[in-house]
Structure 1
């Protein structure tokens, strides 16, 4: 009898520890709402077969320092997080794309569920000739962000908006938003498919 009780308590302890570890990662942090990110499309049900990201759209966190460091090529949209690898799948170039006008002002919006001291928000865009049927690599991106918004270590609110001029592009492209955290070794990544 004593062995059964000990086994039961051990099992409950392991379950509780696993539950706490899983629940901790589900708290989320942030994602781009405009232009709509892949994780938001999965979270709101617009895109199906997304795996775990459908329940955790704000949780695409990975190493900071992009582009010299950070997630490996082909794993950028998931922030290098294997649990969210569906975000790196180009789906044959068929992710829904937000229509944008090249050279015009656009208001970028982040939805933030856990506020962090912030270094900056940076936006990269794919080069001309980008192939949306292949996973994103650094070589696909213009080397410099087209918009950088310094934050000086401040904490953002639950919604962050800032405007910038869109690059002169045509056709289908991908915008990579990187929210760099000031007081941890991580950043948040959001890939938004767009069409000019």
Structure 2
């Protein structure tokens, strides 16, 4: 009887190890929580009907090279990942928004479940006059990031903050697309944060 129980326990242990090693994409990664990202709003229960992203806010990973490459227009907030398509749904422009001021100094914060060697962090913002009830596209965004933080291949700690200035000349509702470019894989991580100037 003991041999059967031991064999069953070993089998369960091997199955668990197999699951953990084959689903590595869910075990690492990160997201922004300041300004709060759509995936964090889903994970903390502020926004409902989010699908799988509520359990995996750190997993919004897609091809790097934005804006010339990367996810397709209309899928930017989900990193091109159809599993997280709820992040691309504009919800009639009603996502909760962080209050900010044009030109203010602001501390951007990331949370990582496991860090990758990092090229940089880039922050893009929507153009004046963009329509918050439509999916995000490249044409909706300013072409140049308003903040770039080089990281020279280093690995960030589990929480990482950097300070920059919010863009000037902005009023009303906008969307910030944060892009964490990984140095040692072909991917980047994407986070959309709704803000109100």
Shared fold per TM-score greater than 0.5: yes
2:153 alignment counterpart:
153
Residues of 2 paired with 1:18 and 1:46: CA distance?
34
Q: Decide whether the 8 Å contact of 1:175 with 1:194 is kept in 2.
A: yes
Displacement after TM superposition at 1:17 (Å): 10
2:105 alignment counterpart:
105
1:136 alignment counterpart:
136
1:180 alignment counterpart:
181
SS at match of 1:113: strand
Q: What whole-Å deviation, never above 9, does each CA across 1:43-82 have from its counterpart, x for those lacking one?
A: 0000000000000000000000000000000000000000
- Report 1:1-196 matches (<5 A): 23-168=23-168, 169-196=170-197
Displacement after TM superposition at 1:21 (Å): 7.7
Q: Which runs of 4+ in 1 moved over 2 A?
A: 15-26
Q: Decide whether the 8 Å contact of 2:29 with 2:58 is kept in 1.
A: yes
Q: Decide whether the 8 Å contact of 1:28 with 1:57 is kept in 2.
A: no
Residue 16 and residue 100 in structure 1: after superposition, are their counterparts in 2 closer, same or farther (change >3 A)?
A: same
Q: Which runs of 5+ in 2 are unaligned?
A: 1-11
1:7 alignment counterpart:
none
TM-score by length of 1: 0.89
TM-score by length of 2: 0.88
Residues of 2 paired with 1:20 and 1:184: CA distance?
19
Residues of 1 paired with 2:100 and 2:183: CA distance?
31
SS at match of 2:114: coil
Q: Which runs of 5+ in 1 are unaligned?
A: 1-11
Question: How many residues were matched structurally?
Answer: 183
Q: Decide whether the 8 Å contact of 1:28 with 1:56 is kept in 2.
A: no
Residues of 1 paired with 2:143 and 2:107: CA distance?
22
Q: Decide whether the 8 Å contact of 2:28 with 2:115 is kept in 1.
A: no
Q: Decide whether the 8 Å contact of 2:126 with 2:174 is kept in 1.
A: yes
Residue 176 and residue 112 in structure 1: after superposition, are their counterparts in 2 closer, same or farther (change >3 A)?
A: same
Residues of 2 paired with 1:21 and 1:70: CA distance?
26
SS at match of 2:84: helix
Residues of 1 paired with 2:114 and 2:17: CA distance?
22
